[in-house]
Structure 1
Amino acid sequence: MDFTGPAQPCGGPAGSVVAVEFTANGQSFVAVNGGPEFTFDEAVSFQILCADQEEVDHYWAGLTENGGAPGPCGWLKDRFGVSWQVIPEGLVEMLYDADPAKAARTTRAMYAMGKLDIAELKKVHAGE
């Protein structure tokens, strides 16, 4: 689906793309050109669940290059200002562990990180 048309309601010139449908990592999305008054912010973000540190590193590097910016706790903004969180599988379980001391240690460690370090998070969670 790629709609072009009289984009004046969105502030663009006639013939501008108003909406596009795309697939990213197997998930379908529709993006609408709402005009300059609608900007990216953290109210809408994407989360990438990674199997291992290699995946975390891959996505982090790719999304922060060419003008992207790292943030805290696995968050970053890509070069377009879109907010992403790159997290390892198992992190949520560690953060919500039934043992409150494990959960608290893991949370404190995550808060101190930009890009998440799986080995360090597991070590802290285990109390090492």
Structure 2
Amino acid sequence: MSIRVIIVDDQAMVRAGFAALLAAQSDIEVVGEAPDGRQGVEVSRRTCPDVVLMDVRMPEMDGLAAARELLSPGEGTDHRPKVLMLTTFDVDDYVYEALRVGASGFLLKDAPPADLIAA
């Protein structure tokens, strides 16, 4: 059984890189991508992934607001994926807010690929 993942990031090259890295793993299946938080919520609702890799800062709806929507009770679905927040910014406020809204973890985008796979 594979881990179903969607990737939500406003940078197409970042999404493609993460998708290639994760798809190369035998136990991970990338089931969707989105360029902003609003579309990320829609893709998550449609595909019911196990994990959402979510950038913190994006247009339309940022990752923190999208994670809050995905993880809040009463949002029209019982499905609650794990949310792993990704960012280029090493800012404590982002970490605290991500964990406060229910994210399972927080990873800097410049972390080694093995850290992303393990997370």
What TM-score comes out, normalization by structure 2 length?
Answer: 0.30
Q: Which has the higher contact order (CA 8 A, sep 6+)?
A: 2
Higher helix share: 2
What TM-score comes out, normalization by structure 1 length?
Answer: 0.28
Structure of higher CA gyration radius: 1
